[in-house]
Amino acid sequence: MATDKSDISGWLVRPANGYLWAALVVLLGVLAVHAVRVTSGGGMDNAIVVDGARTWLAGGAPYDDPHFLYLPSAVLAAAPQALLPRSVLDVLVPPAVTAALVLGWVCALRLHRVPLRSRLAVLGLLGLVAGFAPFGQLVRLGNWTVTAALALPLCLLLASRGRWVAAGAVVGVAVALKPLLAPMALLFLFARRWRALAVLVLVPSVASASAALLLPDPMGFFTRTLPFLLYGDDPFVRLYEASPAAVLPRLGVPEGPAGLFALLAAAAGVVCAYRRWRGPGPVPLRLAETSAGLMLSVFLVSRPSYNHYLLVVLPLLLAGLPYAGAVARRPWFWLALVPQLPGVTWPWLESGRRRAFKDAVTLCGLAATVGWHCVRGAREPDGPREAPGERRPAVESA
């Protein structure tokens, strides 16, 4: 990582001024307070999980709600919230989601050895809060995607320091709460970290199996939720799905070819991610870009696939900006994010229910940019290759 004055990296890693930190604190506070005022039950998506836990505590089956798309272990995890009044959740959940997103950004910075007092630390988070609409949407919804947004950079931080088993445990816990990070098993497969992979699989399996035994419908996830995810057709959910498999049929493409296109694109993305893992470059950058490639590939084909899922990978890529060979230095990376600028009204997409078209452009643009970068990055020399887990000295701020 270049840190001299002739390169932007040197400017990014130097300490930020106090007024930038003050602006960031004010902006985060305003976002959290606004979410407290406008949300109910801590956010619409959080309320779905908490209502499932309340249903269970009352003796009912959480999977009677078709929108409960979580593993049985999430029911028990949401039980403490279910015991609290909704007015308390209104106050607690938005700041908790905001804090988790900030901690995820901190882990992404430490993965790339970027000083926490640097300009990138404050400007990057300012950009996510003020310039990336899904950040505020995730805080208002209280969606449990935030667990993955924190767990993935923490997992990669541990892996970069050789603690692969702990990294597998982190991903396993996140999957037990929401199965969004399940594709990360491929990274452990690429790295041939068998013990860590076993931990990743065992943690959510044991947690979910144990929790299912306490539910009145132990097989509800397999008999109701899984078929809904694979073949369900929810008119409300479909309006906000960003994957090509969901968006292309709304443009007149038959579902069969649309699904096949998404599947082939996802398979190509996985191959590109593997190429990046086997390619040159610093370990933190390879970990981040390989993981981003894997997750974006799955977002292309998964149902549902929402715009706030991008917060799982975007901080990892943005924090790698000081590296000369980072994907965040490619112009298409930034162009793909333009549709997510808050406050911009796009012609023919004024309705919130047409937002999925903008989200699909961003998702496909990021996936294509990361995939191309993974292949090109595997060919371009980017300094000496480090063994996974090898420690590097922290970046010194000038």
Q: Would the pTM of this model clear 0.85, i.e. be above it?
A: yes
User: 15 by DSSP, 3-state: which?
Assistant: strand
Q: What is the pLDDT, as a whole number, of residue 335?
A: 95
Q: What is the pLDDT, as a whole number, of residue 130?
A: 94
Rounded Cα–Cα distance for residues 282 and 319 (Å) = 14
Which residues are CB-contacts of 58 (< 8 A; sequence separation ≥ 6)?
none
Angle at 261 between CA 255 and CA 264, to 5 degrees: 140
Residue 36: both structure tokens together: 């407290």
Q: What is the pLDDT, as a whole number, of residue 379?
A: 52
**Nearest residue to 309 (alpha-carbon basis) of 366, 263, 266, 354:** 366
Distance of CA 157 to the CA centre of its chain: 15
Please check whether residue 366 is in contact with residue 87, taking contact to mean a CB–CB distance below 8 angstroms.
no
> Which residue blocks in the chain are alpha helix, DSSP H?
8-12, 18-38, 44-57, 72-82, 86-111, 119-131, 133-141, 145-160, 164-177, 185-191, 194-212, 220, 226-231, 235-238, 244-250, 255-278, 283-301, 314-319, 331-337, 355-377
Q: What is the pLDDT, as a whole number, of residue 13?
A: 87
Q: Which positions of the chain have pLDDT values less than 50?
A: 2-6, 380-398
